[in-house]
C-alpha cells in the first residue's frame, strides 16, 4: 500500500518563475495538507484541501495556491518565486471524521531551490 | 508567534540511557499533541500522540507525558538506540487536523 507520493523530489527554479508541485495521498485518505519547511525550522502549514476545496489556510501570500482533483490528489502552485521560497515542501494526507483529522501521513517532500 | 516551542535544538545521549525531549506550547485551545521523527531526505514519520484528556501515553520504548497546567509535554525514549538518532518534532492541533509544529530537536544517540 503506497503512502503519500510527492513529485518531483528536487527542483531548481529561477526567481520570478512559477512552480507546480504534486501530491498523491495515501489510499483511503481524502484530505491533503501542504507544509513548507525552511532550513532549521519546523513545517509551517500552508493550506488544506478537502472535497476539492480549500478548507483551511495558513499565513502565506496569495502567490501560493492549490488544487485538489476528484481522485484526491493535489497540486501546490507558487507564482513569482522569491529566494525565500526555497524550502522543503511537504504534503500530508489524512481522513476526516466529523471535522477531526486522522491518520496524518507525510510524504518525503519536494526540495525547491530558487536561484 | 511561535505557539509550539522546542527550546533544545540538540540532545546527545548514550545508547541504553533515557532520552527526554521537551516541548512547550502557549495556546490553551490545543487538545491533541503528536511527536514526529524525521530522518534526512524523508518526510516526518508519526511516532506517538496524546489527547488533552490524558496525561500519559505509552507505546513500547516511547512515552509521552502531558502537563496541561504547565503547557508542557515531553517524550521519553527508554532505552535509547543509535537508530533513534533523528530530528524530533512536537506538533499540536486545536480540534482540527491543522498541525502546528515546533522547530525540532536533533537527537544523537552514541554507542
Q: Grid coordinates 501560493 are at which residue?
A: A64
Nearest to B97 among A6, A31, A41 (CB): A31
Give the containing element (helix H, strand E) for A48.
strand A44-50
At residue A40, the pLDDT reads 86
B78 half-sphere exposure, CB direction, 13 A CA radius: 8
At residue B104, the pLDDT reads 96
Closest CA to A74 of A27, A11, A6: A6
Bridge partners of residue A64, in order along the sequence? A78
At residue A80, the pLDDT reads 98
Nearest to A108 among B4, B43, B98 (CB): B43
Residues A23 and A6 sit within 8 Å (Cβ to Cβ)? yes
**Closest residue in chain A to residue B37, using alpha carbons only:** A106
- Mean pLDDT of all residues in chain B? 94
Low-confidence ranges of chain A (pLDDT < 50): none
Task: Tell whether the torsion through CA atoms of B59, B32, B37 and A94 is positive or negative.
Answer: positive
Q: Is A39 on the interface with B (CB under 8 A)?
A: no
At residue B41, the pLDDT reads 81
Cα A62 to chain centroid distance, Å, stands at 14
Pairing of strands A10-13, B56-59: unpaired
CA separation for the pair B58, B109 (Å, rounded): 21
Per-residue model confidence as pLDDT tens digits over A10-20: 999 999 999 99
As a whole number, mean pLDDT of residues B40-58 equals 91
Per-residue model confidence as pLDDT tens digits over B59-109: 999 999 999 999 999 999 999 999 999 999 999 988 766 899 999 999 999
At residue B66, the pLDDT reads 97
Per-residue model confidence as pLDDT tens digits over A15-41: 999 999 999 999 989 999 999 999 889
Which of A6, A42, A97 is the best substitution to test chain B (most B C-beta atoms within 10 A)? A42
Cα B14 to chain centroid distance, Å, stands at 19
Bridge partners of residue B107, in order along the sequence? B11, B86
Bridge partners of residue A110, in order along the sequence? A89
Closest CA to A4 of A95, A109, A83: A109
Nearest to B101 among A4, A42, A94 (CB): A42
Amino acid at each position: 500500500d503506497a503512502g503519500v507520493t510527492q513529485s518531483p523530489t528536487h527542483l531548481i527554479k529561477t526567481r520570478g518563475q512559477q512552480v507546480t508541485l504534486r501530491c498523491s495521498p495515501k489510499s483511503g485518505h481524502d484530505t491533503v495538507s501542504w507544509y513548507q519547511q525552511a532550513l532549521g525550522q519546523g513545517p509551517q502549514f500552508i493550506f488544506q484541501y478537502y472535497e476539492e476545496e480549500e478548507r483551511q489556510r495558513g499565513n502565506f501570500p496569495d502567490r501560493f495556491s492549490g488544487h485538489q482533483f476528484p481522485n484526491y490528489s493535489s497540486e501546490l502552485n507558487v507564482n513569482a518565486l522569491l529566494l525565500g521560497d526555497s524550502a522543503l515542501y511537504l504534503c500530508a494526507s489524512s481522513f476526516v471524521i466529523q471535522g477531526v483529522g486522522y491518520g496524518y501521513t507525510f510524504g518525503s517532500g519536494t526540495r525547491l531551490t530558487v536561484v | 508567534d511561535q505557539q509550539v516551542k522546542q527550546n533544545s535544538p540538540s540532545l546527545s545521549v548514550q545508547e541504553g540511557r533515557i532520552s527526554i525531549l521537551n516541548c512547550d506550547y502557549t495556546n490553551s485551545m490545543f487538545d491533541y499533541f503528536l511527536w514526529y521523527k524525521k530522518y534526512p531526505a524523508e518526510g516526518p514519520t508519526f511516532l506517538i500522540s496524546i489527547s488533552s484528556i490524558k496525561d500519559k501515553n505509552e507505546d513500547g520504548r516511547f512515552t509521552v507525558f502531558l502537563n496541561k497546567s504547565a503547557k508542557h509535554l515531553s517524550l521519553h525514549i527508554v532505552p535509547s538506540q543509535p537508530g533513534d538518532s533523528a530530528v524530533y518534532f512536537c506538533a499540536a492541533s486545536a480540534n482540527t487536523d491543522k498541525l502546528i509544529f515546533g522547530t525540532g530537536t536533533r537527537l544523537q544517540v552514541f554507542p
